[in-house]
Amino acid sequence: MKKTYKGSCHCGKVRFEADLDLSKGTVKCNCSICAKQRAWLAAVSPSDVRLLAGESELADYQFGARRIHHRFCRTCGVRPFGQASVEDTASGFYAVNLGALDDIDPAELAKAAVMYVDGRHDNFEAPPAVTGHL
- Residue 43 reports pLDDT greater than 70: yes
Q: Are 20 and 6 in contact (CB under 8 A)?
A: no
For residue 49, the model assigns a pLDDT of 96
Q: Which helix (H) or strand (E) holds 75?
A: none
- CA distances in angstroms from 110 to 15, 23, 74, 101, listed in the order given: 24, 11, 30, 14
- Domains of the chain: residue spans and CATH: 3-119 (2.170.150.70)
Question: Which phi and psi (to 5°) does residue 66 adopt?
Answer: 60, 40
How far is Cα 9 from Cα 79, in angstroms, rounded to an integer? 7
Nearest to 23 by CA among 104, 109, 113, 102: 113
How far is Cα 20 from Cα 25, in angstroms, rounded to an integer? 10
For residue 129, the model assigns a pLDDT of 80
Task: Tell me the average pLDDT of the chain.
Answer: 91
> pLDDT tens digit string along 80-112?
999 986 555 567 899 999 999 999 999 999 999
Q: Are 27 and 112 in contact (CB under 8 A)?
A: no
DSSP type of residue 30: -
- Residue 24 reports pLDDT greater than 80: yes
Q: Which residue has the higher pLDDT, 19 or 124?
A: 19
For residue 118, the model assigns a pLDDT of 86
- Residue 53 reports pLDDT greater than 90: yes
Beta-ladder partners of 54 = none
pTM given for the model? 0.88
